[in-house]
Amino acid sequence: MSPADQIRRDARTVVRRDPRLAADGIPLGIDVWGGGYAGLVRLILGQLVSIEAADAMWRNLTTALGGVTPETITTADSDTLRRCGFTAQKAANARAIGSAGIDFDAVDALGDDSLVDRLVALPGVGRWTAECYLVFCLGRRDVFPAGDLALRIGWKEIAGLDTIPAESALREVARQWSPYRTAAAYLVWAKYLRTRKRV
């Protein structure tokens, strides 16, 4: 079973436990990219932009470079990277990570907490980026990026809260969905996105 299919199965389990998260026919759009340097650069490129913008920038980058590797990022000129959506800081971070000689096979084999700790030690990688790497690149099953604004807003709407919950509060809420927190995150994202499309 692929990681994406496993997360879809987990989602059914989560909904049985917590019917508030039922997707009601909303496609979850689960797509596990694969680990490594390219996946991490994709997340760095997509920091603080919309899903649509991040996807467009990634398509532009892969078209421009023919593939995202430490070598292609290091040798790309700054104008090319800027046209693909990189800020100067994001480009510097991607280059620094590429030149660090990281053995991503070894890194990707770490447990969830150890992997997050290893990633946040890299330039430009905070907890959100590290946790999203586990979700989108590796398809880990028990990760909830509670710092994500869409998840915080989505949970506010699902739970009928008056204010957007703090990251720490949402992280505590998500404990109830373990060991399927990744599926729960996808369900909350799906509801958030459906609400935005109705506006």
For residues 15 and 105, membership in a common domain is answered with no
Query: What tens digit of pLDDT does each residue of 136-163 get?
Result: 999 999 999 999 999 999 999 999 999 9
For residues 11 and 83, membership in a common domain is answered with no
For residues 155 and 172, membership in a common domain is answered with yes
For residues 103 and 178, membership in a common domain is answered with no
DSSP annotation of 84 reads: T
For residues 95 and 168, membership in a common domain is answered with no
pLDDT score at 197: 65
Instruction: Give me the DSSP letters along 140-185.
Output: -SS---TT-HHHHHHHHHHHT-SSPPPHHHHHHHHGGGTT-HHHHH
Domain of residue 65, residue span: 37-137
For residues 176 and 93, membership in a common domain is answered with no
pLDDT score at 196: 73
Q: In angstroms, rounded to a whole number, what is the distance separating the alpha carbons of residues 116 and 129?
A: 9
